[in-house]
Structure 1
Amino acid sequence: MFLKSSADETAEPIIMNGSIIIRIMNAPRLLSRKSVLMISMELYLASIINCFMTDNYIFYGLRCQEIICGLILLTIVSRFDKIKRQINQSDFFKIMEGRLNIKIIFLAVLLFMISANDWSNSFAAPPEADKPAAAEIKPGSFEFYMKSGLDLFSKEKYNESIAEYEKALKLRPNDVDALYNTGLAFQYKKENARALELYLKAVAAEPRHYASKLNAGIALDDMGRADEALLYLQQAAALEPGRFEAYYNLSNIYLAQKKYAETIDVCKRGLSAHPVHDRLHNNLGNAYFNTGNAAEAIKCALTAAAINPKNETAFFNLATYYESVKDVKSALENYNKALEINPAHYDASLNLAIMEAEAGKLAIAEARLIKIRTAKPSDARAYYNLGIIYDMKGDKALAVKEFRAAVERDPSYAAELDPYIQKLSGGR
């Protein structure tokens, strides 16, 4: 029996690196004339109130004539529908008969002309003398070292970045941002123990610091301390239930632990925060598949592939799900799509070779397995499957050679293959 790869359970963790996550927002609505009128009225009234609350009755250049003019113009807006209907009826003289309308328009224009000399200043910023001077970052200051560290980090100069952050920490040893940024630089260097130490100091200084708890969980998981990682990731999720990162990283750990019900739960929570996160859909589909729900798994993989057409894992998983329901055509199609995205995708090549061998295309399958065996010589599965193909072709010597190579690379195959090797080699 051939050895295949199952749906991909491995995924890169999301590390909070201080970047802004842009959320999906509803498209803005067009405001009705009534809404514009009400909003404008509120703004003008707020301006009037602010005028009388300031010492000089001037609020950044907003003078009484502009306020009065604005109120009159708002009255014109409020009559806009009536005027528009009259124009549409081609009865211009009805407008002329509305003397109040003419008076209002005339007065508005007059007030505009009165304030014309000052109009350009009415909405200007306060005079230069009133503006606070831009803060100057002094060399050797905490802010100077933080900015320098951030600039170096953005250039992936992590050692130099750490050196600058450590200078900042000498000035403010308990500053949360300095602790977090230094920890992040160590985490990018794969020095998880040092990163964890800094994240925990940041959490001690600010117990509700979401990013430090999140990254502490990831560092612990990378260090093989999954149970401790879960605690920090759960705390991060509780602090910010509207963000997806903690849920995604929790799903990675739960999948690795084969806790599929928990995986489904956190994936759904993560997707409620970020519905178009393709890797969350990947993990949700994987969990459904491992609980026997291939139909839902296929839906999840299709969604992930639609969100990100370059997601090779989505197409690979989709192929394995289709293969499980005997949809050979769709399985082959999606294995090939995964390989189009990443020609070096080992597992897609492995499974495709097995499907080709099962279809009787032994030469094509053999060539594909030899290719991936060369690319990844430490993986026992290519040798194991080549041994089966050579046995099917009647070449016992080559079959024994490949089986022995498989056992050398993965001794767990010995119990299964040793008796078969003895049989094929005639007891030798």
Structure 2
Amino acid sequence: MIAIDRPLEPGVRGSAFRGALFAAASVLALALAGCQSSNPVSDLATVDLAQSSDENISSLTAVINQNPSDPEAYNVRGSAYGRGGKYREAKRDFDRAIELNPSFYQAYSNRALIQRFLGDNAAALSDYNRAIQLNANYDAAYIGRGNLYRLNGRTQDAFADFQKAIQLDTTDPRAYHNRGLIYQSQGQHAFAIEDFSTSISLSPDSAEPYNGRGVSYLAMNDDDNAFSDFNTAIKLNGNLAEGWANQALVYERRGERDKAAKSYAAAVRLDPNYKPAVDGLARTRGA
């Protein structure tokens, strides 16, 4: 099942510098991206690459050259590097931001995600812990740490972090989506559907919560609502192999084996290693 990660966040600062920096960076819009895989490319697959373009990086570098002692400039450029998959460059910028401002909790949280992408989960956890220590109300750090816990099988710890973010009145859809995944894994599909629905209300253009909600509808034998959600997920992201495979499963349950085979085939083309699609295609091929 897919999990959502918001890649990186710029700092928040009420100054004239902030306006100039954000204008140069073009990074005000926060992208939603990701899947449960620890593959960094997958986690950032839907991010607007314009935010990490060479031109944008050059603009950010010019801002840093003019403000070499300002930690926020490094944090924003680090965010842009991270969105572009340049994780080591991103880490260097977050290192510098934290060196300049050891209380910069957003930079710790951003660096934590980069540490995860670099395969250092212990360092990622340490950075999330430090961000929370510096700001106990920072919802993004709880969500990031919760996803790290969930991906490493620490389900109860993950649930507690998502719950904490929601108690803080977060408007971040990841908290609800990822808590919904935990409910779903525990067979609590009514609660999962409620969380996926909240995530959809906060981010209606994201395919993953529709797909997640469809799975829970399917588990409750509500094939019509499941089918509607899978179709919406595919419409929003036609490259979501899981969405095509789930749509195929509904076709198969309806006895429409030819349509099921076509959808399974689409899933296999997108991800030849996705076993539910491979197995489904084998069952329905030649129908």
The two structures share one fold, judged by TM-score above 0.5: yes
* 1:346 matches 2:187: no
1:390–1:399 contact (8 Å) kept in structure 2: yes
Partner deviation per Cα, 1:175-197 (whole Å, 9 max, x = no partner): xxxxxx4x643311737434544
* 1:273 matches 2:268: no
User: Aligned letter for 1:210?
Assistant: P
Aligned residue for 2:8, secondary structure, equals coil
Q: Aligned equivalents of 1:414 and 1:323: distance in 2?
A: 20
1:258 CA displacement: 4.8
User: Aligned letter for 2:120?
Assistant: K
Partner deviation per Cα, 1:136-172 (whole Å, 9 max, x = no partner): xxxxxxxxxxx8xx8xx96xxxxxxxxxxxxxxxxxx
1:374 CA displacement: 2.9
2:79–2:90 contact (8 Å) kept in structure 1: yes
What TM-score comes out, normalization by structure 1 length? 0.54
1:187–1:195 contact (8 Å) kept in structure 2: yes
Counterpart among 229, 246, 251 of residue 90 in structure 2: 229
Aligned residue for 2:255, secondary structure, equals coil
Q: Aligned pair in 2 of structure 1 residues 377, 206: CA closer, same or farther (>3 Å)?
A: closer
Counterpart among 224, 228, 247 of residue 367 in structure 1: 228
2:207–2:232 contact (8 Å) kept in structure 1: no
Counterpart among 400, 405, 410 of residue 266 in structure 2: 405
* 1:187 matches 2:182: no
Q: Aligned equivalents of 1:198 and 1:225: distance in 2?
A: 17
Q: Match for residue 330 of structure 1? A: 191
1:260–1:290 contact (8 Å) kept in structure 2: no
2:11–2:72 contact (8 Å) kept in structure 1: yes
* 1:395 matches 2:256: yes
Counterpart among 8, 12, 20 of residue 4 in structure 2: 8
Partner deviation per Cα, 1:189-236 (whole Å, 9 max, x = no partner): 737434544555665676533223223322322332111211121121
Q: Aligned equivalents of 2:23 and 2:12: distance in 1?
A: 9
What TM-score comes out, normalization by structure 2 length? 0.78
Q: Aligned pair in 2 of structure 1 residues 307, 17: CA closer, same or farther (>3 Å)?
A: closer
Q: Which runs of 4+ in 1 moved over 6 A?
A: none
Partner deviation per Cα, 1:268-290 (whole Å, 9 max, x = no partner): 11112222111111001111112
Q: Aligned equivalents of 1:374 and 1:203: distance in 2?
A: 41
Aligned residue for 2:91, secondary structure, equals helix
Q: Aligned equivalents of 1:337 and 1:358: distance in 2?
A: 19
Q: Aligned pair in 2 of structure 1 residues 295, 256: CA closer, same or farther (>3 Å)?
A: same
* 1:385 matches 2:246: yes
How many pairs are equivalent? 264
Q: Aligned equivalents of 1:414 and 1:341: distance in 2?
A: 29
Compute the RMSD of aligned alpha carbons. Answer: 3.0
Counterpart among 86, 100, 107 of residue 239 in structure 1: 100
Q: Aligned pair in 2 of structure 1 residues 214, 368: CA closer, same or farther (>3 Å)?
A: closer
User: For structure 2, which runs of at least 5 residues remain unmatched after alignment?
Assistant: 27-49
Aligned residue for 2:149, secondary structure, equals helix
2:207–2:234 contact (8 Å) kept in structure 1: no
Counterpart among 72, 94, 112 of residue 251 in structure 1: 112
Q: Match for residue 40 of structure 2? A: none
* 1:424 matches 2:284: yes
Identity over aligned pairs, percent: 16
Q: Aligned equivalents of 2:260 and 2:127: distance in 1?
A: 45
User: For structure 1, which runs of at least 5 residues remain unmatched after alignment?
Assistant: 21-146, 155-180
1:292 CA displacement: 1.8
Aligned residue for 2:99, secondary structure, equals helix
